[in-house]
Amino acid sequence: MSLRVKKQIAYWKATAEHDWQTVQTLWRTKRHDGCLFFCHLVIEKILKAVVVKITQQDAPRIHDLVRLANSAELALTESQQDMLAKINHFNLIIPRGLAAG
């Protein structure tokens, strides 16, 4: 594994850990909408670390958790895929709809 790939994996992991601390704070303060947004970021960053490790390429510049899981070649259950799709919907679809209205 190249140094560049190792650095990218370390970056995604470190920023995911930092965002996880934000998740915990938001949960304790009952800021659940922000908490779910940061949960999305944590999952996204972990998936991007896996994608980089598997492909030895830069992580794609996308936020879609289902597509990232597929790129990471993860064997997810239908329930896990549904959960990622629901998180996507909350963070990617609904805000666009609100912005348009």
**Band of the pLDDT at 94, cuts 50, 70, 90?**
low
Measured between alpha carbons, how far is 95 from 69 in angstroms, rounded to an integer? 22
The model's pLDDT over 13-71, given as tens digits with 9 standing for 90+, comes to: 999 999 999 999 999 999 998 999 999 999 999 999 999 999 999 999 999 999 999 99
What DSSP character marks residue 56? S
pTM of the model: 0.89
CB neighbours of 88 closer than 8 A, spacing ≥ 6?
Answer: 40, 63, 64, 65, 66
CATH 2.60.40 for the 3-100 domain, yes or no: no
What are the extents of the domains in the chain? 3-100
Closest CA to 77 of 88, 87, 68, 66: 66
Asked if the model's pLDDT at residue 74 lies above 50, the reply is: yes
